[in-house]
Amino acid sequence: AQSVAQPEDQVNVAEGNPLTVKCTYSVSGNPYLFWYVQYPNRGLQFLLKYITGDNLVKGSYGFEADFNKSQTSFHLKKPSALVSDSALYFCAVRDIWAVRDDKIIFGKGTRLHILP
């Protein structure tokens, strides 16, 4: 069965510095990988996804993610953090080739604090 881990409950970054939010996954087949962001009292908003192709995926609001198959990681990155990036970030994985078990699995989330 597929699984996803976000090893950090919280990440603190100074405004203007680069940020990284970590995600590792485990699937038996080829993964579809997603990043979502959640602001207080809101649903999840889609940031980016990896299905196939270039390992560096560019998404919304200047975010990008680096797919590394050998390390089974899909870390979220941004070159220069903004205070408005402070939110809860979720990584998700789906193994669409898993017979009868291809549901999307979400990580527990990482709370990102951007310090002014």
Partner 1 sequence: KAGVTQTPRYLIKTRGQQVTLSCSPISGHRSVSWYQQTPGQGLQFLFEYFSETQRNKGNFPGRFSGRQFSNSRSEMNVSTLELGDSALYLCASSWSDLGETQYFGPGTRLLVL
- Residue 101: CA count within 13 A, CB half-sphere: 7
Instruction: Tell the burial category of 10 from Cβ atoms under 10 Å away from its Cβ (0-12, 13-18, 19+).
Output: exposed
**Residue 107 binds to partner 1 (criterion: CB under 8 A):** yes
**Residue 46 binds to partner 1 (criterion: CB under 8 A):** yes
Judged by beta carbon, residue 44 or residue 82, the one nearer partner 1 is: 44
**Residue 51 binds to partner 1 (criterion: CB under 8 A):** yes
Least distance between partner 1 and beta carbon 80 (Å): 26
What does the DSSP 8-state code read for residue 30? P
Query: Which of 116, 109, 115, 79 lies closest to 10, judged by CA?
Result: 109
Least distance between partner 1 and beta carbon 12 (Å): 20
**Residue 102 binds to partner 1 (criterion: CB under 8 A):** yes
**Residue 60 binds to partner 1 (criterion: CB under 8 A):** no
